[in-house]
Amino acid sequence: MYDFEKPNYKENNIINLMSSISNNFGKKHKYNELKALDSRELSKYDNIVLIVIDGLGYNYLKTQKDSFLYKHLKTKLSTTFLAATTCANTAFQVGYPPQQHGLTGWTMYLKETKSIVKILPFTNYDNDEQVSENNLIIDNILEIESYHKDFKSDCYTIIEKEKSKRKFINYVASNTKIIPTETDIHVLPELKDLINQKSKNRRYIHAYLDEFDSIQHISGVGTPKTNLFFETIDNQIRELSKNIKNTKTKLIITSDHGMIDYDKDSQIFIENIVGLEECLSIPITGEPRVRNCYVKPNKVDKFLKIVKNKLSKYCWCIKGEDIINDNFYGLGTPNPKLFDRVGDYILIMRDNYVLFDSTSNIQKATHGAFNEDERFVPLVTLDL
């Protein structure tokens, strides 16, 4: 039906990894386990440590063959749809993909407030001001059980301090001890100290590194600045592994998505597509690689005609409800809120094209759709 490969949540997906981790700690998960790292294997260790390096693609890691991480590469995993932080990193925090957690992109239309919100910082789309508690309580957005609740372990989240203050993080990590660090660079040293503290209980530790993603957005994939920062992370993990030997630790390193470069020829601006904006009831939401379109009922035919005539070379256009029903976002019963958040139609960009509006931040690299560089992530493991 589609001329691209849909996400596969039955095997070799980051969600299958989260299933293995959950089952290992005695909490039944609804998705299949990851065959390459099942719960029986994980149960041998006192410490299960998940390090998420935002933006580290499998194909990028393959270019770094002299690195410590590459030498311990186990396999590749596919990520969620979208191949984006809001969808995939949330999945690491709640254990389930967008089909269950209901978050669909960096900007989302929330029926609860009838407004567009940047969901992770929990700010308004148009002015970056915090969404007030009177306006919306974040518990009402996700409405998903804590991943860590009922784990037979002590649970920790190590994250840079500004992110640790976010309402979103405090919700998804509510059943963990949140350990804030001064910067990203301090996350792994803090992790080392925690692992070396003796504990009577087994431990699950989720450590998040954000800056590699940010540097690629600004500098591009595979640039000297990007490669230098990767080398810093790689050396930190090498040192970490030396300093936590004989602690019965399983170190799992992966990512939420990879990245692709784009240039001026790949940039499409919605205001340059004559007639398209007037078909929409609200501005486009989502990410530059995947756009959610809320179409006025009396403009559907015109919208589809414009997309066919002017955009079909650059994107696929699929009904929002079809995206959900065809399991792009995950398996099983969808979060009821998902149907309000995907829009009437979704534009998925081909190749390395991006669709911008007047609020877009134009950079060097991005992610979100089905390019192999953005949708495959590495699984690196170490036994310590």
340-355 per-position pLDDT tens digit:
999 999 999 999 999 9
Predicted local confidence at residue 129, as pLDDT:
72
What confidence category does residue 136 fall into, taking pLDDT thresholds of 50, 70 and 90?
low
If pLDDT is split at 50, 70 and 90, which confidence band does 142 have?
Answer: confident
**pLDDT reading at 2 higher than 60:** yes
Q: Which residues contact 100 (CB under 8 A, 6 or more apart)?
A: 94, 144, 330, 332, 334, 335
Q: Taking residues 77-104, what's their average pLDDT?
A: 97
Mean pLDDT value of segment 282-296: 97
Q: What is the pLDDT of residue 145?
A: 84
What distances in angstroms separate CA 354 from CA 220, 286, 367, one per listed residue? 15, 12, 9
pLDDT at 243 over 90: yes
Average pLDDT over every residue of 217-242 = 98
Question: Residue 162 contacts by C-beta under 8 Å, 6 or more apart in sequence?
Answer: none
- The amino acid present at 97, given as its one-letter code, is P
184 vs 209: CA distance, rounded Å: 6
Q: Percentage of residues in the chain with pLDDT exceeding 70?
A: 97
Q: Which residue has the tokens 């970490």?
A: 240
- C-beta of residue 366 within 8 angstroms of C-beta of residue 133: no
Q: How far is CA 321 from CA 71, 99, 104, 233, in A?
A: 42, 12, 13, 40
Q: What pTM, to 2 d.p., does this model score? A: 0.95
Contact, 319 vs 343, CB < 8 A?
no
Q: Look at 127-131, 196-200, 241-245 and tell me which has the smallest mean pLDDT.
A: 127-131
Please say if the pLDDT value at position 133 is more than 80: no
- Which of 4-8, 241-245, 275-279 is predicted with the least confidence, judged by mean pLDDT? 4-8
Spatial strand order of the sheet with 345-349 comes to: 123-124, 115-118, 107-110, 285-287, 290-293, 345-349, 315-319
- % of the chain with per-residue pLDDT over 90: 87
- Confidence band, pLDDT 50/70/90 cuts, at residue 134: very low
